Structures are given as structure tokens and as C-alpha cells.
Amino acid sequence: MKKNKKPYIKKLITWALTIIVIALMVHYLNNNRDIFTNLRKINALDIIAIALLQPINILFSAIINKLIIDSIDQQIPISDALLLQFTNNFLNRFISEGGAVYRGIYLKAKFDFPISKFLASLGGVYIIGLSTNALLGIILSGIIYIRDGVYNIYLLGVFAAILIGAFLLIFIHPQFKSENWFLRKLNQVSLGWLNIKRNKPLIIKIFVLSLLGLANSSLIVFIVYRSLGTDVQFLNTIFYSTISSMVNVINLTPGGLGINEAILMFSSDVIGISSEMILLGALLLRAISMISTLTIGAMSYFILNARLQKSNTSKNAPKKEQPETRS
């Protein structure tokens, strides 16, 4: 019996891409070492503010996931939803899509939850997020062009393609019979939208929470680049966060390392920050986020493992026989 080589090939590609990206970033930073002098401008209070604001986005994601699970008539405690989201972020820092795999295993083992339905409904969230961010990206591109006379035609083309693609999935619901990773993702998103489209209150809640998350991300970006001495405007940081949110859907490397930074650097003219400063700020945000990732995320991982072990022990424990009652 032949083993399926696809997972091994995917892991090999992921790690090869990660190594190449890290090498390129190190080379780029080595040739622009003077930008590190900007780190002296950072205020300790700004770092604390960013470290406190970053977990709020994880909270929003946890609430969205709980709302989805509740909509499938399967209740889970908010504590589990929150711990799962922190664990998801923790594992994704080291293994591409590791968080999604763990969530599936935990929900199935602890709650006997139909993970296929959850993943499908989660696909509906991608449609809402991608279409919202793409539309915002087009609108913000227009505003920035009117204000500054700057635009990126390639970025506009990507926003338009994503928006058209999202609308096609919403109204046509195509299904592709293929094992291709990209086509399987499209199937998941299309099926997900079918599962949640009739639940308008759920869609509105997800939309509002997504906008709140985007606003919080924009505030974080604004603080970090202002602390580095740039004159970035808040409108531009919303544009920055819009791009970053869409890129995070494509999890080709652990935590999207390098992919996110590369696309943001490519958009530097519209964002209004030099590519060198974009890279420095993005890496600084990653470094600060590791505070919550390696503390709260790691603790969440061990707490969930303990709960899982306790749940499995209770399930496997022999049931006590009830004494017979004599009439």
C-alpha cells in the first residue's frame, strides 16, 4: 500500500519557502542596517499598548467561531472558544495550518462536533472577510488617489479580482471535483456561504466583529509606525490592515512569515511608508505579538490538552453497574 506523498511534499514546500523568505529578509535587513536606529525612538508605553491591543483581535475571532458553532446547534463554552483561538495562533506561528488541525481534533474529541460542518461554515466567514476587505481596499485606493495622487494598478486588480470572485461564489456556488488545494478551498468557501447565508443575524454579527477587528488592527499599526517616527495617516493604516487581513487567509508559511511583509512592501507607495520602514514595523509587530503568543497561547495549549486528557479518561472509564432492586 503506497503512502500519500502529498502531505510530505506540501510540508517540504512550506519549509523551503520559509527558509528562502527568512534568508531574503536577513539579506535585505543587512543591506539596510541603518533603519534599526529608528528602534531607539520607540516608547515603552507604545509597546505595552500594542501588546494589550493585539489579544483583542483574538477575542473577536473566538467570538466569531463560537457564533458559527452555536449556529450549528452545538454549544461550547466561551472559555473553550477563547483558549482554542489563542492555541490556534500559537501553533500557526510554528506550523502552517497547525492551528486549524488542532481545533478540529479538539472539537471532535471533546464535544463530538462535526468538524466538517464547522470548516464549511468557516468558509462563509472567508467570503464575508474577503469581500469586505476587497471592497474597502478599492474605496480606500480611490480616496488615497484623490488625496495624494498615488495608486497601485496591480493592487487594484487584485482587489477587483477577489471581489468578483467572492460575488461569483455567493451567487453561483460552483463546486469543483478536484484534490487541488486551491480548488478545495474554493469548495469549502462556497459550501460555507450556503450554510450561513440564510442566517442574516449571524452574517451581521460576523460583519460587525470583522470591522471592529479591522479597526483595532489599524490602531495597532498606527501606533507602531508613529512610534518609529513616520508621519503615517490613520486612513493609510486601515489600507495596510485591509491588505494584511487578506494575505493572512493564504497561510503558505508559518504565521504568513515573509508573504505578508513582501506584499505590504510592494504596496509601500500607497501606504505612504518606505518599504524599509514597512519591513521594520511588520517585524516589530511580530516580535510584540510573540509576547501573547508564547505566554497566553502556550498556556492555552497546555490547558486544552489537560481538559482533553480528562475528557478522554472520563469517557473510557468503566461505568458502575447499578444494583438490582428487588420488588
Query: Hey, which bits of the chain come out as E strands?
Result: none
Q: What is the pLDDT of residues 228-265, one digit of tens each?
A: 989 999 999 999 999 988 887 766 666 667 778 888 88
pLDDT reported for residue 216: 95
Q: Give me the mean pLDDT over the 41-51 stretch.
A: 90
Does the pLDDT value for residue 178 go beyond 60? yes
pLDDT reported for residue 278: 92
The rounded mean pLDDT for the chain is: 82
Burial 198-227 (b: 16+ CB within 10 A, else e): ebeebbeebeebbeebbebbbbbbbbbbbb
Q: What is the pLDDT of residues 1-24, one digit of tens each?
A: 445 555 667 667 777 777 887 788
Q: Which of 244, 246, 248 is nearest to 220 (CA)?
A: 244
Q: Which of 98, 134, 94, 136 is nearest to 247 (CA)?
A: 134
pLDDT reported for residue 1: 42
Please report the DSSP string for 117-131 in residue order: HHHHHHHHHHHHHHH
- Residue holding cell 510530505? 8
Q: What is the pLDDT of residues 149-169, one digit of tens each?
A: 998 999 999 999 989 988 887
- Residue of 175 and 272 predicted with greater confidence: 272
Does the pLDDT value for residue 117 go beyond 50? yes
Q: What is the pLDDT of residues 49-104, one digit of tens each?
A: 999 999 999 999 999 888 888 887 678 889 999 999 999 888 887 776 678 788 88
pLDDT reported for residue 8: 63
pLDDT reported for residue 303: 92
Q: What is the pTM of this model?
A: 0.82
Q: What is the pLDDT of residues 289-327, one digit of tens each?
A: 888 888 898 999 999 999 888 877 766 656 555 555 554
